[in-house]
Structure 1
Amino acid sequence: MLSLLPQAAIVVPRLHPRTRGALRAIMAEKLETSASVASSSVSFPILVNGCTGKTGSAVAEAAVSAGLQLVPISFSSTGIPGRTVRVSSTDIRIHGPSEREHVLSSVIDEFPNVVVVDYTVPEAVNANAELYCKLGVPFVMGTTGGDRQMLYKTVQDANVYAVISPQMGKQVVAFLAAMEIMAEQFPGAFSGYKLEVMESHQASKLDISGTAKVVVSCFQKLGVSFDLKQIKQIRDPKKQLEMVGVPEEHLGGHAFHLYHLTSPDETVSFEFQHNICGRSMYAEGTIDAAIFLYKKIHAKADKRIYNTIDVLREGSMQ
């Protein structure tokens, strides 16, 4: 309905280009200052395991950008022990599996408030978690794979603070939270529907996407019959370019997921899709999770095991 009432005229003064430029500079400076204040409000040592990988390296860079103290040590099962990798202005020395316990004990002695972040390989998840729990060090497990039930039991038995999640990107975390809520409140809503799942990641990703596993579990609660073996994993760069539509510059780091549902009579279909290029989303979300965990430790929170939905729910993922 159109309003016939007279409208007050709003006159917006036109600013000289130089004035607009000056205002932009002032606003940018204010935003930069605000971000600096926010990041400097908490600072603690952080050890990133898996710095030889691209995600681990991105997390270490994000830690420095957030004003955290990057411990110049990292464990890796794929890197060459004894060599160093440079992150920002810090040289990080790489240690192999056989050195883990001795080196981590020394780190804890020197940095008693350290928080560990793990971005290693699926095969190392449980052994690394056992070590962190044995030494009582809080950690963020960003590595997917491993025996997840055993992982949670290990942490519960040790009563160690930890954030464990297959996904650190906040928008995807919100999507997963919405899926969980839908599965809990509307069980069986998609009974009889056929599900097809495609996930494309860089060729170096060895396991099925942890995010895809969570989404599939939600659809199973919603009544869909589906086995994880039915997930179409695409790791061939040529197929990723031609079939999936991944930009060439992001073949080495991306996450493209498609979940397609079809009704029994094929008259209704639903699609859920998310396409992520690069690793900055995960890196920044991981640092948000580490800061969240550090605050929980110092608040002496009763709850010990968290996921990134907990982090997002408290508004801690910026």
Structure 2
Amino acid sequence: MAINLFKTPISFCSLSQHEKNSLSSSNFINFTPKRCKLSSNRLSFVTQFQQQQQQVKVSSSSSSSSSVALSSVESQQDQHLNFPIMVNGCTGKMGKAVIEAAVAAGLQLIPISFSSEEEAGQTVQVGGSNIRVHGPSEKEAVLASVFDAHPDLVVVDYTVPAAVNENAGLYCKVGVPFVMGTTGGDRERLYKTVEDSKVFAVISPQMGKQVVAFLAAMEIMAEQFPGAFSGYSLQVMESHQASKLDTSGTAKAVISCFEKLGVSFELDQIQQIRDPKLQLEMVGVPEEYINGHAFHMYHLTSPDQTVSFEFQHNVCGRSIYAEGTIDAAIFLAKKVRAKADKRIYNMIDVLREGKMR
């Protein structure tokens, strides 16, 4: 049955165990029992709530004025925060998107990147800059030289899963703070490497800040109201570019939340759409995003068919992830400057800071 339910431009994500551990068990989301489409306005609730929790209540009018003045100064400093940033994986689509976002944010782009041996020696033009690509054999010497010249450097990694642990080991060895957006690799080993080195890092399998906020809300709801949807049936449809051969990890994460809420569902029941013609005609993916999109639909129905709930999240392109990555880099640069005690962060931490662009 063709169901064209992909209209709302929002998305879920796959949270790491570290991100799930960051969720406060004392917070919960009120779920309205009616058929609904979740808009970006509703999605902003989570971020607004977190920002409100960060506000400091001032007891006197004089201290309140001082606090407002200080907040204004900090805000101006944040707006003009500038630091050198190096993006590894500049030949890939995400790497290019992050570089463009970094340039747009006014950050100082280091025109150097790491990639495979086959791509070493290339000069890639991205964001108006010519970026020199270095291979694996040059990485340590090049990174050490760049970090020596730019001690406030932040590195962003969007390479390939097979390089996650090796690259993280290099960043930790040199001592450079980094944002790891690449998925895969041995995640337990990744965290241990960073913990042992005490290097500052933001590690997240999903950099879309609104995406992270929304799935965090789903996780909280699942933990607070287990079994709330017991007996309901679930339909899941996900559409990605034809080059994605596996089942969406995002869909798996969302289904996991629904299972905690009492829904019985097998992963082989997911309807995967990879045919461009169906994506255009049935799913409603804009033609210009056929080769880069992530559309999902989750439809819940009560046992007697009288109540239904509908969740959907659509992402076109990569800008949401690139912008979130730059927010994470800015967040990390501030933590380094402040010499914060905590060293490893995730996107939940970035969201809770409440000072994103």
Give the TM interval when normalised to the shorter protein: 0.7 to 0.9
TM-score between both structures, scaled by the size of structure 1: 0.78
What secondary structure does 1:270 align onto? strand
Q: Residue 227 of structure 2 aligns with which residue?
A: 188
Match of 1:164 among 199, 203, 209: 203
Q: CA deviation at 1:73?
A: 1.0
Q: CA deviation at 1:275?
A: 0.9
Match of 1:222 among 241, 256, 261: 261
For the pair 1:110 / 2:152, whether they are aligned, the reply is no
Match of 1:93 among 132, 138, 157: 132
Alignment of 1:29-48 (within 5 A): 41-48=80-87
For the pair 1:49 / 2:88, whether they are aligned, the reply is yes
Q: Which amino acid aligns with 1:242?
A: E
Instruction: Show CA shifts across 1:261-301 (max 9, x none).
Output: 34456554322111121222221111111001111111222
Q: CA deviation at 1:149?
A: 3.2
Structure 1 Cα separation of the partners of residues 252 and 194 of structure 2: 21
TM-score between both structures, scaled by the size of structure 2: 0.70
* 1:192/1:223 contact within 8 Å kept: yes
What secondary structure does 2:297 align onto? strand
The Cα RMSD (Å) is 2.7
Instruction: Show CA shifts across 1:28-49 (max 9, x none).
Output: xxxxxxxxx6775211111111
Q: CA deviation at 1:104?
A: 1.9
Q: CA deviation at 1:118?
A: 1.3
Structure 1 Cα separation of the partners of residues 194 and 263 of structure 2: 31
Change (3 A) 1:74 1:250: same
Q: Residue 246 of structure 1 aligns with which residue?
A: 285
Structure 1 Cα separation of the partners of residues 183 and 78 of structure 2: 27
Match of 1:138 among 165, 177, 193: 177
Q: Residue 276 of structure 1 aligns with which residue?
A: 315
* 1:43/1:68 contact within 8 Å kept: yes
Structure 2 Cα separation of the partners of residues 224 and 78 of structure 1: 47
What secondary structure does 2:152 align onto? coil
For the pair 1:237 / 2:276, whether they are aligned, the reply is yes
Q: CA deviation at 1:166?
A: 2.5
Q: CA deviation at 1:216?
A: 3.3
Q: Which amino acid aligns with 1:121?
A: V
What secondary structure does 1:81 align onto? coil
* 2:117/2:136 contact within 8 Å kept: no
* 2:202/2:346 contact within 8 Å kept: yes
After the TM superposition, which of the residue ranges 125-134 and 175-184 deviates more from structure 2? 125-134
Q: Which amino acid aligns with 1:153?
A: K
For the pair 1:73 / 2:112, whether they are aligned, the reply is yes
For the pair 1:122 / 2:122, whether they are aligned, the reply is no
* 1:145/1:207 contact within 8 Å kept: no
Q: Residue 152 of structure 1 aligns with which residue?
A: 191
For the pair 1:83 / 2:136, whether they are aligned, the reply is no
Structure 2 Cα separation of the partners of residues 157 and 220 of structure 1: 36
Q: Which amino acid aligns with 1:298?
A: R
Q: Residue 299 of structure 1 aligns with which residue?
A: 338
What residue ranges of structure 1 are gaps of 5+ in the alignment? 1-36
What residue ranges of structure 2 are gaps of 5+ in the alignment? 1-75
What secondary structure does 2:354 align onto? coil
Q: Residue 9 of structure 1 aligns with which residue?
A: none
Change (3 A) 1:310 1:226: farther
Change (3 A) 1:261 1:126: farther
Structure 2 Cα separation of the partners of residues 194 and 98 of structure 1: 53
Q: Bigger radius of gyration, 1 or 2?
A: 1
* 2:299/2:310 contact within 8 Å kept: yes
Change (3 A) 1:101 1:230: farther
Q: Residue 99 of structure 2 aligns with which residue?
A: 60
Structure 2 Cα separation of the partners of residues 207 and 96 of structure 1: 29
Q: Which amino acid aligns with 2:182?
A: T
* 1:194/1:262 contact within 8 Å kept: yes
After the TM superposition, which of the residue ranges 48-57 and 266-275 deviates more from structure 2? 266-275
Structure 1 Cα separation of the partners of residues 137 and 304 of structure 2: 57
What secondary structure does 1:163 align onto? strand
